[in-house]
Amino acid sequence: MTPSAITPGRFPWFDYARYSFSLGVRAGDRVYLSGHTASEFDPAAKRIIVRGGMAAQARTAYAKIGAILEAADMSFADVVRVVEYVTPEGIERYAEAAAVRAEVFGQHHPAVNTVPVKSLLRPGAFIEIEVTAGAVGSAAEVEPGLPVARESAGIVLLPSVLPTGKDGTIIGAGDVVVQTRAIFERAGRMLSALGLGFDRVVKTVDYLTPVALATYKSTGRVRKEFLGPVYPGAAGIIMPRLIHPEALIQCDFTATRDEPVTVDPGWDRYKKLTYSPAVRAGNLLFLSGQAAIDPTTGRIVHEGDVAAQAEYALRNILEVVEAAGGGAENLVKTVEYVTPAGLPRYREVAGVRSSLLARPFPASTGLVCEALVRPEMLIEIDSFAVLA
């Protein structure tokens, strides 16, 4: 199964052929789109700009997504997951974006992940939207009025899980371990509603606030209690705030009907961790986020150089994909989290991608986070591959 780029015949917003990512990638029966903002080329200014408030920006982003889906012979009715990355200014106006999403999808309800970020790469952008489309399976509404968990051909996608009760109040205020336990208990109910347990979880992504970082390692005991025997791929990213103003952590979960299998190139540092370098389920490969960390010693390399760190991370990613029997051509999606310290030279990462990754380039989303779990890290790359 060779992934292929989705190339709309008409895409008036900008010349996408100039970039080291694809607007979207088809792999089998699913398509994976890059994140899209309201950015468009302004001929008068001769540069990419972003216009409008939150609602207008969301409409433009969804218009782009609609054009890409149409080029893939799909529509919004085929979307199974939506990720909306929202800036601190945008989160205060997020209800406007949610209303636009409701207009776009109507009675169809994909799983929705809402990720507050420090900023987006395009100045003036409030929201960036990324979608996955494919076979639309059953949905589970565990708690009335809250977002659904959605199944798609054996993949189960949970909405953002927060440490809140049914009435929306925070659980475990000020305690990241208690909040993590509340999240896992809530995710467990969602999985159970679809006939699954934590043994089929293949990927977790934690978003946490800076104040949670000091005790974040202690959440490992919650992961040990709930996860396994095969630990999922994982990533942990620090953002200035989360959806709920009192939340210290929120989590995204992906599970599968297929039995997960650990993929490990033989890296010693993962023997003591509650996540794997990658997990294979069928022909899908769910990788952990990679940074410029020596996989044997655990030491940070290339301090102060975001391009060199990106190259090191991508080489590690490709080593994991190769251990699973694939190559660069099987990589279909990346999410790059860059810190404010790495942002001034982040443009150099495009050249690294062009030199290491195969065409069609993966779909990609680039975001600015508050920080990463180690202060020397300037970039972390989360990725996903589809194998033959």
Question: Residue 40: what pLDDT?
Answer: 96
The predicted pLDDT at position 145 comes to 62
| 92-131 confidence digits (pLDDT tens) | 999 999 999 999 999 999 999 999 999 999 999 999 999 9
CA-based torsion, 113, 118, 123, 125: positive or negative: positive
Range of the structural domain that residue 117 is part of: 17-136
Q: What is the mean pLDDT of residues 297-321?
A: 97
Q: Which residues of 94-116 are buried (b: 16+ CB within 10 A; e: fewer)?
A: bebbeebbeebbeeebbbbbbbb
Q: What is the 3-state secondary structure (H, E, C) of the chain?
A: CCCEECCCCCCCCCCHHHCCCECEEEECCEEEECCECCEEEECCCCEEEECCCHHHHHHHHHHHHHHHHHHCCCCHHHEEEEEEEECHHHHCCHHHHHHHHHHHHCCCCCEEEEEECCEECCCCCCEEEEEEECCCCCEECCCCCCCCEEEECCEEECCCECCECCCCCECCCCCHHHHHHHHHHHHHHHHHHCCCCHHHEEEEEEEECHHHHHHHHHHHHHHHHHCCCCCCEEEEEECCCCCCCCCCEEEEEEEECCCCEEECCCCHHHHHCCCCCEEEECCEEEECCECCECCCCCCECCCCCHHHHHHHHHHHHHHHHHHCCCCHHHEEEEEEEECCCCHHHCCHHHHHHHHHCCCCCCEEEEEECCEECCCCCCEEEEEEEECC
Residue 18 is predicted with a pLDDT of 86
pLDDT(300) > 90: yes
Span 296-312, average pLDDT: 96
pLDDT average, residue stretch 59-88: 98
pLDDT, mean of residues 332-359: 96
Kindly tell me if the per-residue pLDDT of 55 is higher than 90. Answer: yes
**What pLDDT sits at residue 388?**
86
pLDDT above 80 for 146 = no
- Residue 111, in any domain of the structure: yes
| Structure confidence at residue 144 (pLDDT) | 67
Confirm whether 115 is domain-assigned.
yes
Can you give the CATH number for the domain in which 247 is found? 3.30.1330.40
Number of domains the chain is built from = 3
pLDDT for position 142: 67
Last residue of a domain, one of 107, 136, 165: 136
Q: Do 118 and 56 reside in the same domain of the chain? A: yes
Over 90: is that where the pLDDT of 349 sits? yes
Same domain, 247 and 200: yes
Task: Decide if 356 is inside a domain.
Answer: yes
Residue 178 lies in a domain: yes
In a domain, 4, yes or no: no
Cβ within 8 Å of residue 17, ≥6 positions away: none
Mean pLDDT of the chain: 96
Q: Report CA 310 to chain centroid distance, whole Å.
A: 17
pLDDT band at 82 (very low <50, low <70, confident <90, very high): very high
Task: Please determine, for residue 41, whether its predicted confidence score (pLDDT) is greater than 80.
Answer: yes
Rounded to whole angstroms, how far apart are CA atoms 171 and 367?
28
> 248 with 295, same domain?
no
Separation between Cα atoms, residue 58 and residue 36, nearest integer Å: 9
Residue 222's alpha-carbon distances to 46, 189, 387, in angstroms, are 52, 16, 31
Q: What is the tens place of the pLDDT at every residue in 229-261?
A: 999 999 999 999 999 999 999 999 999 999 999
Contacts of 149 (CB under 8 A, 6+ apart): 111, 139, 140, 142, 156, 157, 158, 159, 190, 191, 193, 194
Inside any domain, residue 145: no
Separation CA 276–CA 279 (nearest Å): 7
Residues 39 and 112 in one domain: yes
338, 368 Cβ separation under 8 angstroms: yes
> Is the domain of 223 the same as that of 170?
yes
Q: Is the pLDDT of residue 143 over 80?
A: no
pLDDT in tens, 164-206: 998 899 999 999 999 999 999 999 999 998 999 999 999 999 9
181/240 same-domain check? yes
| pLDDT bucket at 153, cuts 50 / 70 / 90 | very high
Q: Are residues 246 and 284 in the same domain?
A: no
pTM of the model: 0.97
Identify the domain boundary among 224, 257, 290. Answer: 257
Q: So what's the pLDDT on residue 141?
A: 75
Nearest to 80 by CA among 112, 115, 127: 112
**What does the block give as tokens for 153?**
């051909």
pLDDT category of residue 148 using cuts at 50, 70 and 90:
confident
**Is the confidence at residue 61, as pLDDT, over 80?**
yes
Instruction: Report which of 312, 324, 211, 216 is spatially closest to residue 264, judged by C-alpha positions.
Output: 324
pLDDT confidence of residue 1: 64
Give pLDDT, residue 330: 96
Residues 311 and 249 in one domain: no
* Same domain, yes or no: 327 and 370: yes
Q: Over range 10-20, report the average pLDDT.
A: 92
The share of the chain scoring above pLDDT 70, in percent, equals 98
Residues 128 and 159 in one domain: no
What pLDDT, on the 0 to 100 scale, is given for residue 140?
81
